[in-house]
Structure 1
Amino acid sequence: MNLSELNIDLFRIINNLGKHSTYINPTMTFIAEYMVFFLVLSVLIFWFTRSNTNRIMVICASITFAVAEIAGKIAGKLHSNNQPFAELSNVNKLIDHAVDNSFPSDHTLLFFSFCMTFYLFRRRWGFLWILLAFLVGLSRIWVGVHYPADVIVGAVISIFIAIIVYRVVPKLSITKKMLGVYEKGEQLILPIKTKSKEQ
C-alpha cells in the first residue's frame, strides 16, 4: 500500500463514521465551520486583558500563522490535490466548500499556529488548546473537505514554526519596542482607569 492509498483509506475510515454516527454530525459540522469564531474571540480576550505575556503570546501566534501560511503555499506548489468530495465518490460531504487545492489545510495551519503557541506559553492548561486544534483537524476530515495528509502536514508545519517563533521572537528587543509603541498609542485612546487614593 502506497501513501496515496493509505491517505484515502484513512479518509474513508474517518469520513464514514459520519454515515454511521449521524448524531455526531452536527457537532463536527459546528467545529469545522464555526470554531474559528471562538478562536478569534479568545485572541481578542487575551490581547485586551493588557497582560504583557498574553500580548507577546498573541504576537508569536500571529507571526507563526503568517509564516505557516507562506510555508503552506510553498508546500501546495510542491504537491496539490482537490478536496476529497471532488475526487472521490460517495463522500459524506456535510458542508459547502469551493473546489481548490486543499493541501495543506488552512484551518489546520490556523488552529495549530495559535493553539500550539498558547500551549507553549500556558503549559498548565495548554493541552486543551492542542485538543481543540486536533478536533478541528479531525472535523475537516469528518465533513469531507480534507484528507488526513492535508491536516497532518498542516499541523506539522505549524507546530515546527510555533516552536521556533516561541524560542526567538520574545527575546528580540524589537518585539518589546514595537509593543511599547503600540501600548502608548492604546493608552491615549483607551486609558486605564486608576483608583484614586483617599486622602
Structure 2
Amino acid sequence: MSLLEMNTDLFRLINNLGKEYTLLNPPMIFIAEYLVYFLAAIVLAFWLTRKERNRIMIICGTITFVFAEIIGKLSGKLYSNHQPFAELSNVNQLIEKTVDNSFPSDHTILFFSFCVSIWLFRKGLWFLLIIIACLVGISRIWVGVHYPADIFAGAIISVISATFVFNVLPKLKLTYRLLDFYERFERLLIPSSTKTKGTKSKDL
C-alpha cells in the first residue's frame, strides 16, 4: 500500500466516524472552528500577567508560529493537495472551506506552535495543551477539510520549530532588550502598581 493510499484510508476511517456517531459532530465542529479563541485567550492571559518569563514564552510561541508558517508555505510548494472534500467523493464535510492547498494544516501549525512552546517552558500538566492541539488536528480530519498527512506535517514542523526557538531565543540578550523597550512604552500607557518582572514573581 502506498503512502497516498494510507493517507486516504486513514482519512476515510476518521471522517466516516462522523457519519456513524452524529452526536459527536457538533463538538467536533466547535473544536475545529472555534477552539482557536480558547488558545487566543490563554496567550493573552499569559501576556497580561506582565511577567518576564511568561512574555518570553509567548514571544517564543509567536516566533515559532511565524517560523513554522514559513516552512509550511515552502513545503506546500514542494507538495500540495486540495482539501479532501474537493478531491474525494462522499466526504462528510461539516464546515465551509475555500478550496486551496491544504498541505500542511495552518490550524495545526498554530496550535502546536503555541501549545508546545508553553509546555516547553512550564512542563507538568501543561502537556494537556498538546493533547488539545492533537484533538484540533483530528477534528479537522473529522469535518472533512484536511488529510492526516496535512495534520502530521503541520505538527512535525511546529514541534521542531518550537524546540529550536526555545533553545535559542531565550538565550539572546536582544530578546530581553526588545522586551524591555516594549515594556517601557507599555508602562507609559498602562502604569503598573506592582513589580511583576523576572523570576521573583509568582507564576500564573
Runs of 4 or more, structure 1, over 2 Å off, are none
Aligned-residue offset at 1:41: 1.2
Aligned to 2:22: 22
Aligned to 1:127: 127
Aligned-residue offset at 1:120: 0.4
Which residue identity lines up with residue 23 of structure 1 in the other structure?
L
Aligned to 1:51: 51
Aligned to 1:107: 107
Matches within 5 A, 1:40-79: 40-79=40-79
Give TM-score scaled by structure 1 length: 0.97
Give TM-score scaled by structure 2 length: 0.94
Q: Which has the higher contact order (CA 8 A, sep 6+)?
A: 2
Aligned-residue offset at 1:193: 2.0
Per-residue Cα deviation, 1:4-46 (whole angstroms, up to 9, x for no partner): 0000000000000000011110000000000111111111110
Aligned-residue offset at 1:154: 0.3
Q: Secondary structure at the match of 2:144?
A: coil
Distance 1:64 1:23 in 2: 36
Aligned-residue offset at 1:127: 1.2
Aligned to 2:153: 153
Distance 2:53 2:136 in 1: 26
Q: Secondary structure at the match of 1:94?
A: coil
Distance 1:192 1:154 in 2: 39
Per-residue Cα deviation, 1:98-132 (whole angstroms, up to 9, x for no partner): 00000000000100000010110110122111011
Which residue identity lines up with residue 12 of structure 1 in the other structure?
R
Distance 2:14 2:120 in 1: 29
Distance 1:106 1:63 in 2: 15
Distance 2:117 2:25 in 1: 29
Per-residue Cα deviation, 1:60-118 (whole angstroms, up to 9, x for no partner): 00000000000000000000000000000000000000000000000001000000101
Aligned to 2:198: none
Distance 2:113 2:151 in 1: 13
Distance 1:155 1:16 in 2: 23
Which residue identity lines up with residue 74 of structure 2 in the other structure?
I
Which residue identity lines up with residue 54 of structure 1 in the other structure?
N
Number of residues paired by the alignment?
Answer: 195
Distance 1:192 1:51 in 2: 12
User: What stretches of structure 1 of length at least 5 have no aligned partner?
Assistant: 195-199
Distance 1:50 1:178 in 2: 14
Q: Secondary structure at the match of 1:95?
A: coil
Distance 1:18 1:4 in 2: 22
Q: Please provide the CA RMSD for this pair.
A: 1.0
- Confirm whether residue 93 of structure 1 aligns to residue 93 of structure 2: yes
Matches within 5 A, 1:167-178: 167-178=167-178
Moved more, 86-95 or 121-130: 121-130
Q: Identity of paired residues, percent? A: 61
Q: Secondary structure at the match of 1:125?
A: helix
